[in-house]
Amino acid sequence: MLVDAAARYQFRRIRLSLDVKNLFDKVYAGSCFAFIGNPTSCTSGAARTVIGTARYRF
């Protein structure tokens, strides 16, 4: 099971955000392709990704 998480904090005109995808850094098949006469080919899914943002409204 993949788990994502997000946290937001806002104070007046400032907003801080933190987003995490694949929180526990699980290894998984992102996508698989099968063609007649060829073996099935799979690619791994994305590793843990962390994105932080800060916004200020004028």
pTM of the entire predicted model: 0.75
Which carries the bigger pLDDT value, residue 36 or residue 57? 57
Number of domains in the chain: 1
Vertex 27: Cα angle to 31 and 29 (nearest 5): 15
Domain that holds residue 17: 5-56
Tokens read off for 11 = 């104070």
Q: Is the pLDDT confidence value at 35 over 90?
A: no
User: What is the C-alpha separation between 44 and 54, in angstroms, rounded?
Assistant: 31
Beta bridge partner(s), residue 13:
none
Alpha helix ranges (H) inside the chain: none
Provide, rounded to the nearest whole percent, the portion of the chain with pLDDT above 90: 81
